[in-house]
Structure 1
Amino acid sequence: MAGHRIFQMSFARVYPLYIEKVEKKGRTKAELDQVIEWLTGYDDAALAEAIARETTLERFFADAPGLNPNASLITGVICGVRVEEIEDPLMQKIRYLDKLVDEVARGKKMTSILRGA
């Protein structure tokens, strides 16, 4: 999937959609930020900077301080594909994030979403 167009999409473009999705289900932006930060290692300031700079998803994950070591525990189907079977590392990270956002929106407990962290 090298060069997939989603890689060049701005994180600032998808972030409001994530917020809308979780808030529509009664969850908060703070909970969303918590799972993004858990997955990527960004803190609040770095996350805000990535949004302000309209960083691409490719750059967002490349610049991430570090993917959480428990990210491989994220399993399930997103967009009809099992996240644990995605071969492209960048696409897998994007889908990990999508899966976490879905879990927040579905009302899962944060300890479960954060894989026991």
Structure 2
Amino acid sequence: MNNTKVYTMSFASVYPHYIQKATKKGRTKEEVDTIIFWLTGYDESSFQDHIANKTDFENFFAQAPQLNPNASKITGVICGYRVEAIEDPLMQKIRYLDKLIDELAKGKTMDKILRK
């Protein structure tokens, strides 16, 4: 898996696609934000700073306050890969987020998505 391209992409350029995927299925931007905050530990203010600064994925996750301890409970296939088997820690975090947004779009409840 060639990861260098996705690492250098700005999170702000992909964020609208997460929102679009969710809203197309009747979910909300607020739910997308809740998922991102849950996974990364960001709050609204620090998150908006990263969006405004067009932080790339590598730095977005490197600067995250704390990856949620329950992130390891995220399992399944996304983009043809089992998220729990991805060896590269950064790619695994990116795919965790992809998987959570995918679950949101598929109609899962927020409690299940947030592994409560």
TM-score normalised by length of structure 1: 0.96
Matched residue, 1:113: 113
3-state secondary structure, aligned to 2:23: helix
The total of aligned residue pairs comes to: 116
Matched residue, 2:51: 51
**What is the deviation of 1:3?**
5.7
Matches within 5 A, 1:1-117: 4-116=4-116
Identity %: 65
1:13 is matched by which residue type in structure 2? S
**What is the deviation of 1:4?**
1.7
**What is the deviation of 1:29?**
0.2
- The one-character-per-residue Cα deviations of 1:24-82 (angstroms, maximum 9, x if unpaired) are 00000000000000000000111111101000000000000010000000000000000
3-state secondary structure, aligned to 1:17: helix
Note the aligned Cα RMSD (angstroms). Answer: 1.1
1:17 is matched by which residue type in structure 2? H
Q: Distance in 2 between matches of 1:76 and 1:45?
A: 31
Q: Distance in 1 between matches of 2:16 and 2:54?
A: 12
3-state secondary structure, aligned to 1:27: coil
Q: Which runs of 4+ in 1 moved over 3 A?
A: none
Q: Distance in 1 between matches of 2:33 and 2:25?
A: 16
TM-score normalised by length of structure 2: 0.97
